[in-house]
Structures are given as structure tokens and as C-alpha cells.
Amino acid sequence: MENLLAALAVVLEPYNIGMLFFGTLIGILVGAMPGLSSVMGLSIMMPLTLSLKGSAGILMLLGIFCGAIYGGSITAILIKTPGTANSAATVLDGYPMATKMGQPGRALGISTMASTFGGLFSAVMLLWTAPLLSKFALKFGAAEYFSLAIFGLSMVTSISGKNVIKGMIGGILGLMMATIGMNALTGSPRFTFGSVYLMGGIAMVPTLIALYAFSQGLSNIEGGDSGHQKAGAKLKRVLPTWADIRTTAPTILLSSVIGTVIGAIPGTGGDIASWVGYNEAKRWSKHPEKFGEGAPEGIAAPEAANNAISGGALIPLLTLGIPGDAGTAVMLSAMMMQGVVPGPMLFTEQTGTVYTIIVGLFFANICMCLMGYGAIRGFAKIGGVSNTYLTPIVFVFCVVGTYALNNNILDIFMMMIFGAIAYVLIKCGFPMPPIILGLILGNLAEKNLQRALIISDGSISVFFTRPISLILIVISVVSLLWPVIGPYLKKQKGTEK
């Protein structure tokens, strides 16, 4: 308790709390800009944090880390352009609520509430269960990672909308895109057609921008200003109603648990957590048919899950020195530059620093909440901008965000090509989420399949003899068949009544 109170005093010092607020603001702005990410924000600001005294530098990085995850939901809801991959699932119900239902303030309010709870929940879990969850994460080998990827891919049927067949085709396209580049284990090039650029594979950020932002810009051009659905309706209120809180509370809690656990597994991230959270929310909903039409749970689930990643990803970082995702990898570098060496000895040798980080994470989410609700009315005006001005802005963000990733003009050409293809696919009724899911999980599935088979001398029994792997495979089969099983069980239940 003494260490906790001492850390609280450090965080609440005017200078430190000021840097935390500043970092959170930068994070929200970075997250809201399509193409940018928390990793980019952390990398850009890291040199500045090294010049700050005391714990201010680490606290600023925590603010950027949390703010960027939340910021991606703003443009996802208002202009159907997720600022980061973590917020891609938020588009499915956030944008319809803001446009078709004319309730952008409600959508942003639910997103802010879910994001705050997810972040605070993960901070509490980081404080209470860090050693326990880190031991669980250590049990994940190649077989478990492959089964986790299969579990993620099994969600294709749930996120495909009304046309499951086209959704599955989209998932296969995503998996095919993931095979482009060099084999992770053998180093042999595949489907590169002699191009050095394709040796590195299909980059996630340019593809995400192409499928959601660039294709949307092309649709805006086709429809003209009259065809644009406005998300800038007058805000009657920004705080969630009691009905929304009551409806989304179970979903937020479940998604927060999912996000924290997935975050504690090194190599995963908020994008996987958000899709898992969304899928589980839809699976257990009494009205799954409302998902994709502006369901409050469809906004709350991915936002709670991806923000819960912040605390979960810090668990293996602080206890084992293993970064949970790309963002915490940058934070690992920053901590080591400031004399903080994460690992098993950190809790005994630098106890004060550990508690400062945990308390700082807690207050970073509070700062995010205050800024989110305080600026919702300003954010909502983005959706009311005429297509005459909005479409060029979207294209500028697409180009700048894509180029800023690697400073490579070929990324821009690839983004435009995939954007045009996505536009045609959307016109043909193909959903975009399965493609993204296939691309995200394709590499994870392939490389861990190869590793597991090498370790087991080619025997597939390794996936069924390891308990965690077997459980994930069973859940995957149930998830894949749920669109058939679910309605049948509900029908049987109704018959019994």
C-alpha cells in the first residue's frame, strides 16, 4: 500500500500529470488520423520524452499509447475510416448509428464509455493479476498460437453480414494476400513476381486505408454530395443514457476480460481483440440481427476489448520483459533508455517504478475519458462536412498516412490499387472485415503451423494433445457452426416454452 500511495503522489505532481494529459491528447489526435498509429506516435515522441525529468517521459508515453487506441474510433464512427486497425470492427455499427440512425453523439458516447472501462479494467487487472497472467502467457507455444489464429478466422461467418458465402470468399482473399512475400521460416519468396517491394509482403496499414478509406472516397465521388450520409446531426446529448449503459454493461465487461487476456499473450494485439470481442458480443446477443445496423453492443464490444489491450500488453512487458505488441515494444525501448529494465527482477528492484506505471495507466484512461467527452461535440462536426471538402481531405489523409509509414511511394500505389479493387468488391456486395481478418491472421496461422509441425516431426496430433490448443480448436468449430447451431437452439428453446 505504501508503494501504491507513493506512486499516486508521483503521478499527481503537476508537471507529471500535465505531461500525461499532453501525451493523451497527442495520442487521440494520432489515432484519429487514418494511417497513423500508436506505434508511430510513440516513435515520434520518444526522443522528446528522453529529455523530460523523472517519470514524466514514461507517463507521456502511456498517455500516447492509451489515447491512440481510443482515437481510432472517432473517424471510424463519423466517416467510416478507422484511424487504426484496432478500430476496424467499430465501423460495423458505429457508422450506421451515426448516419442511418442520425446519432453520432450517442455512438461516440458509447465508444468513450466502453474504451474508458476497458482501459481501467485492464489497469486493475495489471495491478492484481500480472504474475498470474504472465505465467499463462508463457504456456503459449506454436500450437497454441496456430489454434488462436484459427479461432480468429472462425469469426468470418459472424462478421460477414447477410452474405456468408461472399464473406468466406473475402476471408480466403485475405489469407491469399497474407501468403505474398517471403516465407517466415524458409526465407523463400512467394507470389512476388520478381518484385523486391513485394518481398516484405502486403503491408497492413496501406491495405486497411485502401479497404476502408480510399474505397469510401471513391464511393463519395460516385454518389456526389447528395449521396453522402451525414454523421453531423445535432447532438442532443453526449453522455450514454441509462438504457445504453444497462444494455452494454455485460458486453463491456466480457470484452474487457477478452482484451486483457489477449493482450497478455505476446504477439497479439488490439485488432485481434476487437474482432474477438465483437464476435462474442454478437454470438451471445438476444438480437444478433441488429448487429451491423447500429447496435450499441457492436460499438461497445470492440472498443472495450481493444482498450483493455493497454493493460494486458503491459503484463508480459513488466513481468517478463516481453512486449505484448508493437506499441509496448517501443515502450520497452524507451524504458530501457531511461534506466528501467523490465523483467522478473523489476518488481523487487524497482518497485516504485512499477507502481508508477500502473497508476499512470489508470490516470491515462481517466484523461482519455475527460478529453473524449469534453470534445465529442467538436468531433461530431467532422461527419457534417460536405463531400466537396471531405473527400479531398480523406484522400490527402490516405496518401500522407500511407507514405508516413515507410516513406515509400510504392506503398501509395499499392494503397490506390487495393482501394480500387475494394471499391469494386463493395459494389458487388463483398464485406471488407473478412478480408482484413484473413490478412491479419494469415501470417500468424502459417508461421506457427510450420513451427508446430517441425517441433512435432510432422504430426498434427500436437494441436490436439495440448490442452489450450485443443480448447481453442473446439471453440473455433463451435464458432464456425454457430450461425447454424444458434438459431436451432433458440428455436428449440422457444418450442419448449
Over the stretch 142-154, which tens digit does the pLDDT of each residue have?
Answer: 888 888 788 778 7
**447 or 497, greater pLDDT:** 447
Q: Quick one: cell of 486?
A: 444458434
Confidence of residue 226 (pLDDT cuts 50, 70, 90): very low
pLDDT for residue 21 is more than 60:
yes
CB 170 within 8 A of CB 436: no
- Amino acid at residue number 233: A
**b/e string for 27-57 if b means 16 or more Cβ within 10 A?**
bbbbbbbbbbbbbbbbbebbeebeebeebbb
**488 or 348, greater pLDDT:** 348
Secondary element (H or E) of residue 397: helix 387-406
Chain mean pLDDT for the chain: 80
Q: What is the pLDDT of residue 113?
A: 94
Q: What is the pLDDT of residue 132?
A: 63
Q: What is the pLDDT of residue 34?
A: 64
CB 82 within 8 A of CB 76: yes
pLDDT for residue 489 is more than 60:
no
Cα→Cα distances 239→40, 64, 247, 373, Å: 31, 24, 14, 7
Most trustworthy range by pLDDT among 33-42, 145-154, 371-380, 444-453: 444-453
Q: What is the pLDDT of residue 187?
A: 78
Distance CA 151, CA 479 (A): 8
Most trustworthy range by pLDDT among 10-14, 220-224, 318-322: 10-14
What are the tens digits of pLDDT across the range 450-480? 888 888 888 888 888 888 889 888 888 877 7
What are the tens digits of pLDDT across the range 287-337? 888 888 889 999 999 999 988 888 888 877 777 666 656 667 677 777 777
With a pLDDT cut of 70, the percent of the chain lying above it is: 81
Single pTM value for the model: 0.69
Residue 457: what are its φ and ψ, rounded to 5°?
Answer: 60, 35
Q: What is the pLDDT of residue 227?
A: 43
Confidence of residue 117 (pLDDT cuts 50, 70, 90): very high
Q: Taking the CB of residue 198, how many other CB atoms lie within 10 A of it?
A: 18
Q: Quick one: cell of 39?
A: 506505434
Least confident of 42-46, 78-82, 111-115: 42-46
Q: What is the pLDDT of residue 35?
A: 55
With a pLDDT cut of 90, the percent of the chain lying above it is: 13
Angle at 312 between CA 309 and CA 313, to 5 degrees: 80
CA dihedral 389, 69, 106, 393 (to 10 degrees): 0
Confidence of residue 121 (pLDDT cuts 50, 70, 90): very high
Confidence of residue 488 (pLDDT cuts 50, 70, 90): low
What are the tens digits of pLDDT across the range 403-440? 876 788 888 898 899 989 988 988 888 887 788 778 87
Least confident of 17-21, 85-89, 197-201, 289-293: 85-89
Confidence of residue 55 (pLDDT cuts 50, 70, 90): confident
